[in-house]
Amino acid sequence: MSFTGNLRIGADSGILNALSASRISPRIFGGRPVTTGKYPWMAALFYRDCSPSTCQFCGGSLVRPNRIVTAAHCAAALGANTLIDVFIGEERLSNQGEVLQVSEFVVHPDFNPNTLDNDLAVLKLASESSFQPIDLIAPGDPDGLTAPGSRVTAIGWGATSEGGPGSLDLMEIDVPIIENSVAAVEYKKLGSTITDNMLAAGLLQGGGDACQGDSGGPLIAFERNSQNSIVPILVGVTSWGIGCARPKLPGLYTRLANYSDWLQETLR
């Protein structure tokens, strides 16, 4: 296992980070259970020599047969010699899914653990998954999938309430993209900065959001492909927030359309 950078993130940083609570079934904060087989590329990161249902701490997305996109700050949950695996292909963490070993954790070189800017990493797997990867958003988002007001979907096994337990069942919630300048008003009052590399998404009235344990998981949009089928597109990575589902404090996601060059190089 190799890492880029020296990551030390405090528990009071407001990050949607590793989950230490017991897991329950079913609900994520304001979400709904995912139907069987809907997102086969969804990955759970968990500590080796432990079960996914007990030791899942972050999410990720299979974007190549042997590559997972996740959040850089998920590395903060790992010690120098900590070994992790990924769980793919099942919605319930206690089911028998595909388990693959992680051989390398590549963190974006400009990741800032204080501001959470460039909160992006790639996991290299020791072997290839049998599942079909999800497509990445095109460079610069030419189709406007992340334009303010667009509907996107956040997915994860994270907490069902702020500070509460995680879910055994994979959950999803549909939320709108919020203009960064709108979200920044309340975040600024709390001493936090939203950069152009981040996407704000959530319900401004509160009540639905990603939460602890969802970090590194996908934010997806849907578009019609050349075969006239509606397919999911990975547009963001769950990064951070202040609390979960609080009014006027939407979740923040890494804006993947800004990282096409780095991803193309790292995903080789």
Distance CA 100, CA 141 (A): 31
- Residue from 61, 129, 215, 239 carrying the catalytic annotation: 215
Classify 180 as helix, strand or coil.
helix
User: In the listed set 102, 133, 164, which residue is the last one of a domain according to the structure?
Assistant: 133
Q: Which domain holds residue 109?
A: 30-133
Query: What pLDDT is recorded for position 131?
Result: 98
Number of Cβ atoms within 10 Å of the Cβ of 151: 12
**Residue 25 within a domain:** no
- Below-70 pLDDT ranges, the chain: 1-30, 77, 159-165, 207-213, 245
User: In the listed set 91, 114, 133, which residue is the last one of a domain according to the structure?
Assistant: 133
User: In the listed set 133, 166, 196, which residue is the last one of a domain according to the structure?
Assistant: 133
Dihedral angle over CA of 141, 87, 115, 193, nearest 10? 50
Query: What pLDDT is recorded for position 27?
Result: 32
222/126 same-domain check: no
108/159 same-domain check: no
Number of domains making up the chain: 2
* Residue 263 dihedral angles phi and psi, to the nearest 5°: -65, -45
Q: What is the pLDDT of residues 58-83, one digit of tens each?
A: 999 999 999 999 999 998 768 778 89
Is 215 labeled as catalytic in the residue annotation? Answer: yes
Is 108 labeled as catalytic in the residue annotation? Answer: no
- Residue from 53, 61, 117, 119 carrying the catalytic annotation: 119
**Residue 234 within a domain:** yes
Query: What pLDDT is recorded for position 248?
Result: 87
Q: What is the pTM of this model?
A: 0.88
Query: What pLDDT is recorded for position 247?
Result: 83
- Residue from 73, 129, 141, 214 carrying the catalytic annotation: 73
Is 85 labeled as catalytic in the residue annotation? Answer: no
Query: What pLDDT is recorded for position 79?
Result: 72
Query: What pLDDT is recorded for position 115?
Result: 94
| N-terminal to C-terminal alpha carbon distance within the chain | 18
Query: What pLDDT is recorded for position 205?
Result: 79
Domain of 228: which CATH number?
2.40.10.10
**Residue 264 within a domain:** no
